[in-house]
Amino acid sequence: MAIHPNKEIQAVIAYAESLDWIIMKGGSSSHAWGKMRCPEGTREGCPQRSIWSTPRNPEQHARQLKRFIDKCTHNGDD
């Protein structure tokens, strides 16, 4: 997996991967570094979220991503 240039965002990506989130490098726009998807692979899963390559405030973007992951009800499902 490619490494995000910002250490705070990379830490959140590693956190998401530890919870079985799907991280896809490359986004649909030039501003996205990639996308992340909930571990629930059906329509009942959470919507995907873009990971920006160069957000204006990287620390805030990292907090927003972590909050989105933590709100997911599918984390830890077996």
For the segment 71-76, the average pLDDT, to the nearest whole number, is 83
pLDDT-based confidence at residue 2 (cuts at 50, 70, 90): confident
- Looking only at the bridges linking them, the beta strands covering 49-52 and 32-37 are antiparallel
* Cα angle 70, 13, 8; round to 5: 95
User: Is residue 24 assigned to a domain?
Assistant: yes
For residue 56, what pLDDT is reported?
93
What is the span of the domain harbouring residue 24?
7-71
User: Is residue 78 assigned to a domain?
Assistant: no
User: Is residue 1 assigned to a domain?
Assistant: no
User: Is residue 2 assigned to a domain?
Assistant: no
- The pTM for the full model equals 0.86
Total of domains in the chain: 1
User: Is residue 76 assigned to a domain?
Assistant: no
User: Is residue 77 assigned to a domain?
Assistant: no
